[in-house]
Structure 1
Amino acid sequence: MSEKITEIFGVDVFSDATMVERLPKKTYAALKKTIENGDDLDPNVAEVVANAMKDWAIEKGATHYTHWFQPMTGITAEKHDSFISPTTDGKAIMEFSGKELIKGEPDASSFPSGGLRATFEARGYTAWDCTSPAFLRKDAAGVTLCIPTAFCSYTGEALDVKTPLLRSMEALSNQAVRILKLFGHQDVKRVSSSAGPEQEYFLVDKAKYLKRDDLIFSGRTLFGAMPPKGQELDDHYFGSIKERVASFMKELNNELWKMGVTAKTQHNEVAPAQHELAPIYATANIATDHNQLVMEYLKKVASRHGLACLLHEKPFAGVNGSGKHNNWSMSTDTGKNLLDPGKTPHENIQFLLFLSAVLKAVDLHADLLRVSAANPGNDHRLGANEAPPAIISVFVGAQLEDVLAQLIETGEAKSCKDGGRLNVGVHTIPALKKDATDRNRTSPFAFTGNKFEFRMVASSASIGAANTVLNTIVADVLCEMADELEKASDFDLAVHDLIKKTVTEHQRIVFNGNGYAEAWVAEAERRGLPNIKSMVEAIPALISEKSVKLFGKHNVFSATELHSRAEIMYESYSKAINIEAKTMISMASVKFIPAVIKYTKKLADSINSIKSAVSDADVSVQSELLKETSALLAKTQVALKKLQGAVAQANAIADGAEMAIAFRDIVVPAMADLRAPIDELEVIVDKELWPVPTYGDLLFEI
């Protein structure tokens, strides 16, 4: 099997090995300079690359190509063009020019722009991102050459996820290289941020999925009572994978491997029907592209197996939701991980400087990290038992906590704790080498050996926003540090003083305890750490004076681009809640209320039939059920009218921010009020009459 993996891995990618094979040496060298050093792309080079890429794709059956981009919808977009070009003799040839490779022009009028573009102004451009390799996608449409691209407006503003991410990667590289040169690393020309997103998801039977309007329209169950069993036995976590799911996972891996996605780990997650896929890390840009492919193929392959994949953050109330743990680090072009502490981190001054820079960045810009993980679904998850709280803190572990304490107390760290060895008490099992620190699953931003794991990212969202923020805030702190250290007459003394000062001033962000505990909420408030509980509360951080200055300084976002994104986020929140509320109104009106009426009629007919047959018969059970059901039905009708009014009230508001606030404060509570009696009715009404599959049907029957 290992030989098969090596044979199929990357076969559908225009990879470095393929370019070496198919490009002239000078062309390959010029393209590599652009990719690795950020040099301008020569149009003549693009022409040669385009021809080679076209020949390779056609040999593999491709008929079309597309500029594959990531607008601010959370998913990818594409417009397909064939390679066909007519000739004067009435025939056709297959052509693909450098101009077609470099630039495309999809209609930009209907993509979210947050006011950057008027609806009638349709022109937008896609631009080839040569740092992310082109790939082939095979489906019912045939074989399509997919070219990763950036997407911008006619007036130059970024309309996508990729463009600001690439800008932030460049900003981080520039500032990190400045620091490294001060440490004597003159050979380092570039520093890349890397990411490895762990993707959680649910699988349910597709036939049952199609009977639930809430899953179809909103991606989550808007109604549903808990079954007798949930996840309390912890028997699903890392349990044996069911045959049907295993078959799905096998095909998914094959599809991803062909496109160069390094799918590595797969297992059952905590909740029933929940699973996880984790890749080997890549540069943040490629990792973002690959995660979009992972989400797309999770859904596509699931459908082939009669399953439906749910990427929503909280598809089922009462069991764990899904996140996307974004493992982030920084590496040089010489192969050095800048967050690797080594065996003696207390002596690794370079590592301690970069570590302190991350601590300061997270402390100063916790609000931006929070908004980078915000979407409507995450409001149901963050702060619950399975997820980090909405309070940003950093877990560093016992070893680094001790090193930082020494720095704060004396200005110098002279020792560090060793992990030691673990003896399990069985002679046939050797003593195991322990890590120097335990893990903390309650921390939203945890150091895990040689990287930070940002655990707040939403399962359905692109990781682009989170990595853009991480890159930029760390770049800004490194910039300040480089400015100070470049002026120092004694670098060694200055860098020690800077580390101590930074760690001391930002020690409040370090928390190694239980992030789920109520006591932490009070402690975080005492420390002055923000507790931003909802997406709507988080959005203003994007357009604060501090943020506009930060992103502008590093050319990641202009003020206009930030305001547009804030507007898009308000609008997306309102639209998501509006869809959910309208779906609830529809399901209550045409499914649940009629089903309950049928049940009450059945009860009433039963009571009358029994009394007709035996006048003094005991019908107390039926009468009690009828009374209880009728009361809940009346409560449902009242809540339904209330929700209809709340939706109308929120939709009447013109201002985007005020509308989002109204949906959060008025509509969401009204939705909860409608759900409550219907969930109660679910456990009373005859299952044969209940119009949708239950939680038990969805979570346990695949």
Structure 2
Amino acid sequence: MKIVDEYFGCDVFGPAAMQRYLPHAIYKQMIAVMEHGKELPKEIADTVANAMKDWAMDKGATHYTHWFQPMTGITAEKHDAFINPTGPNAVISDFRGKELIKGEPDASSFPSGGLRATFEARGYTAWDPTSFAFVKEKTLYIPTLFCSYDGSALDKKTPLLRSIDALDKAAVRLLNIMGYDVQKITITVGPEQEYFLIDEKMFKDRIDLLATGRTLFGAPPVKGQELDDHYFGNIDERVKAYMEEVDEELWKLGVYAKTEHKEVAPCQFELAPVFSSANIANDQNQITMDVLKRVAAHHGFVCLLHEKPFEGINGSGKHNNWSFTTDQGENLLEPGDNPKDNIRFLTILAAIIKGVDDYQDLLRISVASAGNDHRLGANEAPPAIISIYLGEELTAILEAIEEEKEYIDSANKKLELGVSALPTIAKDSTDRNRTSPFAFTGNKFEFRMLGSALNISCPNTILNTIVAEELTQFADELENYAAEDLTKKIIDLIRRTLKDHKRIIFSGNGYSEEWRLEAQKRGLMELKTTADALPHYTDPKNLALFEKHKVYSASELHARENILLENYYQVIVIEAKTMAYMLRKQILPAVFEYEAKLATIIQTKKASGIDSPLEEQILFNINDPLELVSKHLENLEELIESNPESEKEKAVFAADKILPLMEAIRSLTDTIEKNIPKDFWPLPDYNDMLFRSTQ
């Protein structure tokens, strides 16, 4: 039996491997590069590259790749062999510093949003030494950034690293003004990953799953999640074997896969890791999604990461647990045991509250996609309205501070609003509000709106940047005061911030219609669809924010808006084309065949003088919606051929014209399915996929 401690991280070029393969002095320099963001000295680059190559080849690797995250949201890789020719029929294994540090893939077919012309193919990958290289399937994977010839970021990782620097700079500045000796902060993230498993054969028999990742048709199963019996239930033997292989693969790659369980919907599961730094967490979540999909084939499964693969049951999300700590290991979102630490905690908390209120649109944009729109607000995920949940005790404390009233906690301790005391805030004093988009859970915030397929870099880039902005504003104000006045001024700042931004705090049921009406009264934004949200990306205040903190240039931000709008439109058009194909090639022929059989039965009975009310009713139940489907299908095919001019027009067209028509077609077709015998229906149905897949 394998002992995890003995092989964990064995396929990662981490500190243990570096110490073994590098000279001690160079090993120390590499650790400094990784821990403190120092630049790799050019004179040691060849030594590091050669050591990395030797380690990888000892692991069986024959190739290397610069592994990057273009604006498709997934990962990209081009594999090169370690060999170099030395003469006729002779080679030597070689890997130099210049090959480690920089690569040049063909960038022409990656989305750029206008940052360069299509014919300008040059793009560069640059090694990110703060994230560990690893070996997978005989290839050395080197995490890298990806940029254009002029240096514009063409990837997801570069802005994330910039935002990490921005939050580090802002937090260190403010904390030192407040009297704390802090040199560096580390942002930590723990992304919980939900997914579905279905049988591979059934998957291949559904062109909608193959082409779009979700079922475009499907009558409800006889049983869904009504009994809540799948949640945390006993894990089936076949699924357990799959999870065991996933864990082993992830542990070899240094991923702290910790928790796994059945989720709410049939065939739905979750995997959660231990927290790690934001950059590594981002890379490891991409690795996790790859391993989940790749290992599934070994067990006859397909892993579905689409946010809503099945209508009528819960979709899949990805909860982004976010916090940040000092170089002394103090979690800045951990309520303290003394007044001074709690002033720090409440200051950071006030900045986050202000940031979430000021930049509601950006947080909604950070999770916007065609797939995720099916979840948000659907009584299975948080609504599209951004709000913060803090829990009863913390909310009551903030209200007391704002109103300058006395607060008595559960231990009968009073809140003094003078300069010397704030209450000790109990840990785990908050319940969990599953309907909240952004919930405080004791020592972190859980951003619960992310879709399961999403690259987590954008939500964390935006979280980091908006909090960096608010901490910077706080520092700008507080640096003007003398030390003896500082505590009072901080409390005044907290109080003023709460008064101005308390509208974003909400502890009730986010699914209720009452909350929608209340949110409107408060002036909160409800950006229901991706088409509603994305045009706000380049609002003047957002352009100013990202340029100020050097996270995105104006051209980089406009590019991302265009790419996401175009992606939204293309995803929906592909779904519409797939729906039309399935109707023309599969569903309508099957329905016609069954109608013909019913008509024959009815005619035969009538010729024999026998009434056929049952058959006639079934035929009516099929033919009535079928005529509407036929009309809608012609309209859908016309819409598919339409070509709105701008990206914004395309997105609105898809949201307002194509999707409603697709939903109408689906509803009618699902009604038809209910009246068609299983042997005549050309697709695996929901009962098959949800209840036979894991058996």
TM-score under structure 1 normalisation?
0.95
Measured after TM superposition, the shift of residue 436 of structure 1 is 1.7
Indicate the residue corresponding to 1:517 in structure 2: 512
CA contact (8 A) 1:402 1:417 kept: no
1:698 paired to 2:693: no
1:682 paired to 2:677: no
CA distance 1:342–1:434, change in 2 (3 Å): closer
How large is the RMSD of aligned CA atoms in angstroms? 1.6
1:47 paired to 2:46: yes
Measured after TM superposition, the shift of residue 69 of structure 1 is 0.3
Q: Write out aligned runs for 1:260-299 (5 A).
A: 260-299=254-293
CA contact (8 A) 1:66 1:146 kept: yes
Q: 5+ unaligned residues in a row in structure 2: which ranges? A: 414-425
Structure 1: distance between partners of 2:298 and 2:341: 54
Measured after TM superposition, the shift of residue 282 of structure 1 is 0.6
Indicate the residue corresponding to 2:571 in structure 1: 576
Indicate the residue corresponding to 1:486 in structure 2: 479
Q: 5+ unaligned residues in a row in structure 1: which ranges? A: 421-432
Paired residue for 1:405, among 371, 374, 399?
399
CA contact (8 A) 1:418 1:436 kept: no
Name the SS for the 2:265 alignment partner.
Answer: coil
Indicate the residue corresponding to 2:656 in structure 1: 665
Structure 1: distance between partners of 2:390 and 2:341: 17
Indicate the residue corresponding to 1:96 in structure 2: 95
CA distance 1:641–1:189, change in 2 (3 Å): same
Name the SS for the 2:631 alignment partner.
Answer: helix
Indicate the residue corresponding to 2:587 in structure 1: 592
Name the SS for the 2:3 alignment partner.
Answer: helix
Indicate the residue corresponding to 2:470 in structure 1: 477
Structure 2: distance between partners of 1:485 and 1:32: 35
Per-residue CA deviation, residues 106-139 of structure 1 (Å, 9 max, x unaligned), is 110000100111111000000000000000112x
Identity of aligned residues (%): 54
Structure 2: distance between partners of 1:110 and 1:532: 31
> How many residues in Structure 1 have an aligned counterpart in Structure 2?
679
CA contact (8 A) 2:37 2:130 kept: no
Indicate the residue corresponding to 2:324 in structure 1: 330
Measured after TM superposition, the shift of residue 419 of structure 1 is 12
1:618 paired to 2:617: no
CA contact (8 A) 1:347 1:414 kept: no
Measured after TM superposition, the shift of residue 401 of structure 1 is 0.8
Measured after TM superposition, the shift of residue 71 of structure 1 is 0.3
Indicate the residue corresponding to 1:654 in structure 2: 645
Indicate the residue corresponding to 2:165 in structure 1: 170
Paired residue for 2:348, among 351, 354, 361?
354
CA contact (8 A) 2:250 2:257 kept: yes
Q: Write out aligned runs for 1:411-426 (5 A).
A: 416-417=409-410
Paired residue for 2:196, among 199, 202, 219?
202
Structure 2: distance between partners of 1:257 and 1:132: 16
CA distance 1:417–1:97, change in 2 (3 Å): farther
1:8 paired to 2:11: no
Q: Which amino acid aligns with 2:526?
A: N
CA contact (8 A) 1:271 1:320 kept: yes
Structure 2: distance between partners of 1:129 and 1:540: 31
Q: Write out aligned runs for 1:102-141 (5 A).
A: 102-138=101-137
Indicate the residue corresponding to 1:223 in structure 2: 217
Name the SS for the 1:543 alignment partner.
Answer: coil
Structure 2: distance between partners of 1:274 and 1:345: 45
CA distance 1:692–1:89, change in 2 (3 Å): closer
Structure 2: distance between partners of 1:345 and 1:687: 68
Indicate the residue corresponding to 1:504 in structure 2: 499
Name the SS for the 2:19 alignment partner.
Answer: helix
Range with greater deviation from structure 2 (337-346 or 3-12): 337-346
Paired residue for 2:247, among 243, 246, 253?
253
Measured after TM superposition, the shift of residue 239 of structure 1 is 0.6
Paired residue for 1:634, among 627, 635, 645?
627
Range with greater deviation from structure 2 (493-502 or 447-456): 493-502
Structure 2: distance between partners of 1:434 and 1:154: 50
Range with greater deviation from structure 2 (674-683 or 38-47): 38-47
Paired residue for 2:562, among 567, 576, 590?
567
Measured after TM superposition, the shift of residue 439 of structure 1 is 1.0
CA contact (8 A) 1:37 1:189 kept: no
Structure 2: distance between partners of 1:263 and 1:345: 36
Structure 2: distance between partners of 1:606 and 1:106: 64
CA contact (8 A) 2:134 2:140 kept: yes
CA distance 1:515–1:239, change in 2 (3 Å): same
Structure 2: distance between partners of 1:63 and 1:111: 27
CA contact (8 A) 1:647 1:663 kept: no
Per-residue CA deviation, residues 442-487 of structure 1 (Å, 9 max, x unaligned), is 1000001100000001111100000000000000011111111111
CA contact (8 A) 2:219 2:673 kept: yes
1:304 paired to 2:298: yes
Q: Which amino acid aligns with 2:456?
A: I
CA contact (8 A) 1:345 1:416 kept: no
CA distance 1:320–1:346, change in 2 (3 Å): farther
Per-residue CA deviation, residues 193-225 of structure 1 (Å, 9 max, x unaligned), is 111000111111110011101100000000111
Name the SS for the 2:195 alignment partner.
Answer: strand
